[in-house]
Amino acid sequence: MPAGLLLYTTATPNGHKVTVFLEELKAAYGVEYDVEKIDISKNTQKEPWFIKLNPNGRIPVLVDRNRDNFVVFETAAILLYLQQFYDKDGKFGFDKEKDPNNYSELLQWIFFAHGGVGPMQGQSNHFHKYAPEDIPYAKKRYSEETKRLYGVLEIRLQDRDYLVGPGRGTYSIADINVIAWIRFHKIAGIESLDEWPRLKDWVERATSRPAFQEGVTIPK
């Protein structure tokens, strides 16, 4: 009997963001989900059937068969959607109506990572590993910007254990959203996280969670 949630994905930082959270939801509440692996080296995600789901032709894409096959693309939007509908005890987020300021801070840090860390670290990956031509300026531009962004996170984590939430913060989708990217820092030309000790601790704390460890192995 297929699970209600279906995720089209592959093993990239963006894919991992969602599979990690789905594993957290499974561990917390027994939420089940199916995965269909998309081969991006064959450009499956640009085929017409996939474009119908996501006109941007990118993974991951979520289809919620529990809710009339509602489709969500953009990883951060998927995380927010899953948190709203499947995190019934609000462990991984904040209530928009009852806790609007924390909810807004969650959104701010999610947008910061989604619009900053993802694309900039992604460009650094491209120019370090995938570009046909070696352009030292571009490699430096994007690895420096990625480091700057890590520095911003370091500031936030000075007296916090997690990005958002009262006091020292609570583990939420805001953390998952960006740690899934930081794990790949070496490809972006950033050899070690030692320069950002609070960030390094935070990454270790999150990635030692069983659900996190399982989530980054999916799809198998």
Partner 1 sequence: MSSGKQFTLHGGVTGPNPLKVAVVLEELGLEYDVVNINIRAGEQKNPEYLKLNPNGRVPTLVDHSNGDFTIWESDAILLYLVERYDKEHKLSVADADEKFKLIQWLFFQASGQGPYFGQAVWFMRYHHERLPSAVERYHKEILRVLGVLETVLSKQEWLVGGKLTVADISFITYVLARAVWPERKHGTHRRCSWNQMAIGWGLEGVEGGDVQKEFPNVYKWHQKLVSRPIVRKFLDIQAEAFRKLSESQAK
Regarding 120 and contact with partner 1 (CB under 8 A), the answer is yes
Stretch that binds partner 1, among 18-26, 108-116, 164-172, 197-205 (CB under 8 A): 108-116
Residue found under tokens 């499947």 = 86
Stretch that binds partner 1, among 5-13, 152-160, 166-174, 195-203 (CB under 8 A): 152-160
**Scanning residues 153 to 192, which ones bind partner 1 (CB under 8 A)?**
155-156
We find the least distance from the C-beta atom of residue 9 to partner 1, in angstroms, to be 16
Regarding 30 and contact with partner 1 (CB under 8 A), the answer is no
We find the least distance from the C-beta atom of residue 6 to partner 1, in angstroms, to be 16
- Asked whether the beta carbons of 161 and 205 are under 8 A apart, the reply is yes
We find the least distance from the C-beta atom of residue 18 to partner 1, in angstroms, to be 13
Q: Which of 32, 34, 47, 51 binds partner 1 (CB under 8 A)?
A: 51
The amino acid at residue 213 is: Q
Q: Which of 42, 49, 89, 132 binds partner 1 (CB under 8 A)?
A: 132
Q: Tell me the angle at which helices 136-156 and 197-207 cross, rounded to the nearest 10 degrees.
A: 80
**Residue in 68, 12, 55, 63 with CA at minimum distance from that of residue 35:** 63
b/e per residue 99-138 (b: at least 16 CB within 10 A): beebbebbbebbebbbebbbebbbbbbebbeeeeeeeeeb
